[in-house]
A = this chain, B = another copy of it.
Amino acid sequence: MCEHEQQRMAGAGEAVPREKWFTYDVVAEDPSTHARAGVFHTPHGDIPTPIFMPVGTKSTVKGILPATLEQMGTKILLNNLYHLSQRPGADLVERMGGVHEFMRWGGPILTDSGGFQVFSHEEFVKLSDDGIRFRAVDYDGRWQEWSPEENMAIAQKLGADITMQLDQCVGYPASRKKVERSVELSSMWADRCFAAHTREDQALFGIVQGGMHLDLRVRSIRHLEDAGDFPGYGIGGYSVGEDHDTMFESLEPLCAEHMPRNKPRYLMGVGNPTTLVRGVAAGIDMFDCVLPTRTARTGTAFSNEGRINLKNARFREDDRPLDEGCGCPSCAAGFTRAYIHHLVRQKEMLGSILISQHNIWYLLDLMRRAREAVVQGAYGEFVDAWMASPASRDW
C-alpha cells in the first residue's frame, strides 16, 4: 500500500453510524409550498437537501479539482455508470478501490444506471424484458447486453453511495402506449434490480417514469413502493423536450400527493437555476445536471442578471466579476469579465475552469439559500423574489 492511500480525500464528511445509513430526516416543511429541507445520511457523509449535485461523468467534474469542489461546499457528486463501464471498466475501478478512491473524492457519490446514455443512441438499442442490448457507439462500438442484474453488478463494483435502478426513459412527445410500456419495463427492472442489489453500503434508488401522464407516474411510484423498501426515488423522463410548465403540471401533484414523505426525491438531469427553484417548491430534494460545466465550456455563466456569454464583445473591458457579490472562488479571487473574455476567446482552459467553478458554486449556493428559506418557512417569498428577478430570465 502506498503512503498516499492513508491521506484524507477531499470531500470526506464525518463518519456516519451504520444504523443511520440511507435514512432521510425531513427537518422542515415550508407552509406555503411543497418544499422541504432534510438530511440524507450516507456512508461517506450527510447530504443536506435540497441539494445540487455536480456531475463528474467519467469520474471527474470537467476541469475542477476535488479540493476545489470541497472548498465550494459540494456535498455529493455524480459519476456516470455507462461511461465508467466502458472506460476504464467497472472491474478496474473496483480493483482501484471503487469510485471514491479512484477519483479521490471522499464524500458521497451517486451513479446513475447508464440507461439514459444508452438510449441517447436509440438506433443502436434493442429492448426486451430481460434488459438492453446496445452498441457503445462512443467507445469501441461493440454490441453489449445489460440485464438488470448485470447493471447492478456494475453498480456494485463501482461502489457509489447511491445507485439508480436500470430504467427506460422515453423522449417527448411520445405516444401514451410507448410511455406505458416504459413504465412496465422500468417496473419489471426495478423488481429485478432490487433483488440483485445486495451491497449494504450502497443505496439503490427506484426510478419513477410515466412521461407527462400523472396516472402513469402514480402507477410507477405505487409499483416501486410495493416492490421493496427503496431508500429514495429518482424521477426520470423529464427535461426530455417538453417545456417547463408541462413538466410541473404532472411533477407537482406527483410529489405533493403521491410520493412518500420520508424518502428523498431526485429529479434527474434537471439543473437550470429557475427549474431548481421551482423544483424545490414542488417538493424535489436532489438535482443534477451537466449544464453548469457544459455551458461554461462555451463561455456561458450564470449571473443574477441572467445568463451571460463571456465571448461577447461587450465584456472586453468589463472589470466586474462574473457576478457582483458572488462568493465563488473565481469571483472572490477578483477575476474580471474582461480577463475571462480574453481566456474564452483564446480558448484557454482557465476560461472554462473559472466559469465552471462559478456556475457550480452558483447552483450550490442557490440550493443553500433555498434550504435556509425553507427552514425559515419563507420559501414562497424566495420563489416570488426569484421569479421577479432578472436572474430568472433566459432559463
Chain A interface residues (CB < 8 Å from chain B):
2, 4-5, 7, 9-10, 58-60, 62-67, 87-88, 92, 95-96, 102-104, 316-317, 319-321, 324, 329, 331-336, 338-339, 341-343, 345-346, 348-350, 352-353
CB <8 Å contact, A88 and B349: no
CB of A317 within 8 A of CB of B95, answer yes
* Docked complex Cα distance between A66 and B354 (Å): 11
14 A-B residue pairs with CB within 8 Å: A2-B324, A4-B321, A5-B334, A9-B333, A10-B333, A60-B350, A65-B329, A65-B350, A67-B329, A67-B333, A102-B339, A103-B339, A349-B349, A349-B353
Return A220 CB to nearest CB of chain B, in Å. Answer: 34
Contacts of A65 in B (CB 8 A): 329, 333, 350, 353
- Alpha-carbon separation in the docked complex, A117 to B346 (Å): 17
Bound state CA distance, A88 and B329, in angstroms?
Answer: 24
Residues of B within 8 Å of A332, CB to CB, are 4, 7
Q: List 13 additional A-B contacts (Cβ < 8 Å) besides A58-B346, A95-B317, A103-B339.
A: A2-B320, A4-B333, A5-B319, A5-B334, A58-B342, A60-B348, A60-B349, A60-B350, A62-B348, A67-B329, A88-B316, A88-B345, A96-B319
Look across to chain B and name the residue whose beta carbon is closest to the beta carbon of A4.
Answer: B334
A97 to chain B, nearest CB (A): 8
Q: Interface majority SS on A: helix, strand, loop or mixed?
A: loop
Closest B-chain residue to A106, C-beta based?
B334
Q: A349 touching B319 by the CB < 8 A rule?
A: no
A9 pairs with B334, CB closer than 8 A: yes
Assembled-state Cα–Cα distance A203/B189 (Å):
71
Neighbouring B residues of A345 by C-beta, 8 Å: 87-88
Contact A62 B349 (CB under 8 A): yes
Residues of the B chain whose Cβ atoms lie less than 8 Å from the Cβ of A341: 88
By a CB distance below 8 angstroms, the chain B residues around A334 are 4-5, 7, 9, 104
Q: How far is the CB of A324 from chain B (nearest CB, A)?
A: 8
Residues in B whose Cβ lies below 8 Å from that of A336: 4, 96, 102
Complex: A316 Cα to B96 Cα, angstroms: 10
Q: What residues on B are CB-neighbors of A335 within 8 Å?
A: 104
Determine the distance from Cα of A317 to Cα of B353 in the docked complex, in whole angstroms.
28
B319 contacts A2, C-beta separation under 8 Å: yes
Min CB distance, A304 to chain B, in Å?
A: 15
Given A7-B332, A316-B88, A343-B60: A96 and B338 within 8 A (CB)?
Answer: yes
Question: Which 4 pairs from chain A and chain B are nearest by CB?
Answer: A4-B334, A63-B349, A60-B350, A88-B342
Measured CB to CB, the closest approach of chain B to A244, in angstroms, equals 31
- The residue of chain B having its C-beta at the shortest distance from the C-beta of A354 within the complex is B65
* Docked pose: A342 CA to B90 CA in angstroms: 12
Cα–Cα, bound, A7→B333 (Å): 7
A96 to B320, CA, bound (A): 11
Q: Are A87 and B321 in contact (CB under 8 A)?
A: no
| Nearest CB in chain B to that of A5: its residue | B334
In the complex, A328 Cα to B389 Cα: how many Å? Answer: 44
| A7 vs B321: C-alpha distance when bound (angstroms) | 12
